[in-house]
Amino acid sequence: MFEKKGEYYTNKDENFLKESDLVIFWNEKPKKLIKSYAVLGGTDEHSKVDIPRADRDLALLLARLAYVFEIYDEDLKDTDEFEDYVDILKGVRVKTQIKKHLTTLEEISGVLYLIDSSDKVSIILGDVEDEEIEAVLSFVKMLGDKVGVFTKKDISDYEIDFYE
């Protein structure tokens, strides 16, 4: 599923990143871009949204609120695996996680708004642990084909599937 293309392992072609309406830097230092971008796991004066801390729980929090706001691939709605994933998401405590990540509901909602209003979204993963990668990929699966993942870390053994 993930192959090395250029400098990144990705599930998309090399042009997807260039064509993206939104780029999310996840624990990765932002590169100067003309397009809209968000920083999760850091700050940057030019980004649309900054969330200082990013980890597995942030991916689950984003997924939880994406579910609440109905920002997900409609084709997944009645599948057993999606229903099982939603059961996990219902256990995510929103207020607790917002405080943990030193952010606000407005910032989280802002990220989701940017994702929802974009046709193509690229997530560039920086220094992340395996469990965090799995949680991010679950969030990506929830959003469907509009999201591409790019990382310098070898993730060729991973698949975009729901977190268990």
- Mind listing the pLDDT tens digit for each residue in 102-111? 888 898 999 9
Residue 107: which residues within 8 A CB-CB, separation 6 or more? 49, 50, 51
Is 57 a domain residue? yes
Domain count, the chain: 1
* Residue 105 lies in domain: 3-12+20-127
Is 27 a domain residue? yes
Confidence category of residue 86, pLDDT binned at 50, 70, 90: very high
Q: Please determine, for residue 52, whether its predicted confidence score (pLDDT) is greater than 80.
A: no
CA–CA separation, 13 and 96 (whole Å): 37
- CATH number of the domain to which 102 belongs: 3.40.228.10
pTM as predicted:
0.89
- Mind listing the pLDDT tens digit for each residue in 113-154? 999 999 999 999 988 888 889 999 999 999 999 999 999 998
